[in-house]
Structure 1
């Protein structure tokens, strides 16, 4: 199945993970993106080999801050050094677009509770450091969250943050509003489909192939799960006092193989193709507002996660051959 990136290339990016022992070097990965008109890339940690490969490529970059660095970045001097080393030393040859602090840090979860106490300070210190260099309008500082941050997401108009994270998120949201930065969101239609009891969700709703609305919520009608999830988050942001805050989908994908139901080449090709076609349409809650979206991932990664499905999320095989017909 053809997946036409070129028509929406201004809104489409890829997540470039390196959890594999058979992947091509970064220089070849960047060249592959340029060949296929992929203009945006997300990396999860500062990798100087990747940053060097991106020089002069014109690919816009979302740079991730590992969870383990968040506490260190609460020290302003460390933040200044970090920004100098990984951003300023490569700019303007590398087009930095976002810096994302952490990945789904949850203040009420034991494994990330400590990092959560430092997130806002780390964001402020990174922002102050890039402001010192005069690039705060070019590079936006944000945080990556997941749908788990919501206590309710169905129907979409019931979207609201968990009570346990409300104070935490309100502080984050205020920072994003004050600095004109978007919220970065991981969206997971595949896993939502997998964990939903059989017969409670049609796969057509997850793959954008439903012929009629599956969910009717107030005046809004939903034919696919992806936009329903986005609208649930928009409602949650409105309840948190940020009705106009933008969302960038920084990870969404579908596996071409794996033991979970729905994991197949045909379904993945259908999902990606329909997702890309629908990105310019926005959501029922925010129509005609294109959704900047990063596909997960660039390559199949044979060391990614414990589930087989997570190893088959790539648009390309590790040998750089396209998994789908990318135009």
Structure 2
């Protein structure tokens, strides 16, 4: 499997999880697994071979970082749910409703529903990328893409959001102290309102191991890797966390609630869906 991940160049080798959770985040059972399917590398297997490998591992979800037509064609009638991406570089064009309509009409509609496209990631980690022009284009681009889906009757089937890194938070420990960075105070409420209006999730790219790598003396490796450990208790909510992933997700949930958007769905790698 290590060779497989290396050859396909999965960015961060991030698994996409989908599990069922109780009201307080306790795991009830893993429902499905998927991958982020990166294409940065050489000697990559063709999409048809990638599909075979995914199916052999019983993976049912994937995200790609563009709208590669070869992948969209290869995944047709496979049953695998796919999230595609609008690249950061074209957000300035896509903010125009007509350009967004053309993008959806040519990049999405011809492949749907044979290819199970379930989400469109508009940009990637834009809030923490440092490019103010791209950030200014993000929300208008999301609105235009969603508007195009509505015009084409695809909005009930395809969600629109943008993946963010946990660097959007100024505080994440304990989880109940979670809050967004002050420099995002202008755009974040507008973004959260869009998600609430369209019933789309807040997507985060969470990498617990990276947090451990930055502070190996203060963070247990087992806690970061979801292995058995004593965990931690939030001193304010008294919630017990036996892994960092749940704690990171809850920090985002609390941050959104602080802005008046309690109950917003937060998803990791787009597939860990948790609500408070």
The Cα shift of 1:172 comes to 0.7
The Cα shift of 1:129 comes to 0.6
Q: Are 2:241 and 1:222 equivalent residues in the alignment?
A: yes
User: Counterpart in 2 of 1:236?
Assistant: 255
Q: Are 2:177 and 1:161 equivalent residues in the alignment?
A: no
User: Counterpart in 2 of 1:174?
Assistant: 193
Instruction: Measure the CA separation in 2 of the matches of 1:92 and 1:213.
Output: 43
The Cα shift of 1:216 comes to 3.4
Instruction: Write the deviation string for residues 238-285 of structure 1: whole angstroms up to 9, x where unpaired.
Output: 112111111121179xxxxxxxxxxxxxxxxxxxxxxxxxx79x6xx8
2:221 aligned to 196, 203, 213, which one?
203
Instruction: Write the deviation string for residues 13-34 of structure 1: whole angstroms up to 9, x where unpaired.
Output: 2100011212210111112212
The Cα shift of 1:35 comes to 2.4
**Secondary structure of the corresponding residue to residue 194 of structure 1:** helix
Which residues in structure 2 correspond to 1:70-81 (within 5 Å)?
A: 70-81=91-102
Q: Are 2:188 and 1:188 equivalent residues in the alignment?
A: no
Q: Which runs of 5+ in 1 are unaligned?
A: 253-278, 287-327
- Name the CA shift for 1:203/1:161 in 2 (closer, same or farther; >3 Å): same
Q: Which runs of 5+ in 2 are unaligned?
A: 2-14, 20-28
RMSD: 2.4
Instruction: Write the deviation string for residues 59-78 of structure 1: whole angstroms up to 9, x where unpaired.
Output: 11111111001111011111
TM-score (norm 2): 0.85
Instruction: Measure the CA separation in 1 of the matches of 2:110 and 2:30.
Output: 27
1:136 aligned to 141, 155, 164, which one?
155
Instruction: Measure the CA separation in 1 of the matches of 2:163 and 2:243.
Output: 23
- Name the CA shift for 1:251/1:199 in 2 (closer, same or farther; >3 Å): farther
Instruction: Measure the CA separation in 1 of the matches of 2:68 and 2:229.
Output: 44
1:120 aligned to 129, 139, 157, which one?
139
User: Counterpart in 2 of 1:26?
Assistant: 47
**Secondary structure of the corresponding residue to residue 106 of structure 1:** helix
Q: Is the 8 A contact 1:10 1:39 kept in 2?
A: no
1:47 aligned to 65, 68, 71, which one?
68
2:36 aligned to 15, 26, 30, which one?
15
**Secondary structure of the corresponding residue to residue 167 of structure 1:** coil
The Cα shift of 1:106 comes to 2.1
Instruction: Measure the CA separation in 1 of the matches of 2:205 and 2:231.
Output: 24
Q: Is the 8 A contact 2:36 2:62 kept in 1?
A: yes
Q: Are 2:175 and 1:147 equivalent residues in the alignment?
A: no
Q: Is the 8 A contact 2:62 2:83 kept in 1?
A: yes
Query: Number of residues paired by the alignment?
Result: 252
TM-score (norm 1): 0.72
- Name the CA shift for 1:10/1:192 in 2 (closer, same or farther; >3 Å): same
Instruction: Measure the CA separation in 1 of the matches of 2:84 and 2:235.
Output: 36
The Cα shift of 1:92 comes to 1.3
Instruction: Write the deviation string for residues 83-137 of structure 1: whole angstroms up to 9, x where unpaired.
Output: 0111001111111111011111127x54x21111011110111111111111111
Q: Is the 8 A contact 1:185 1:251 kept in 2?
A: yes
Higher RCO (CA-CA < 8 Å; seq separation 6+): 1
Instruction: Measure the CA separation in 2 of the matches of 1:214 and 1:96.
Output: 38
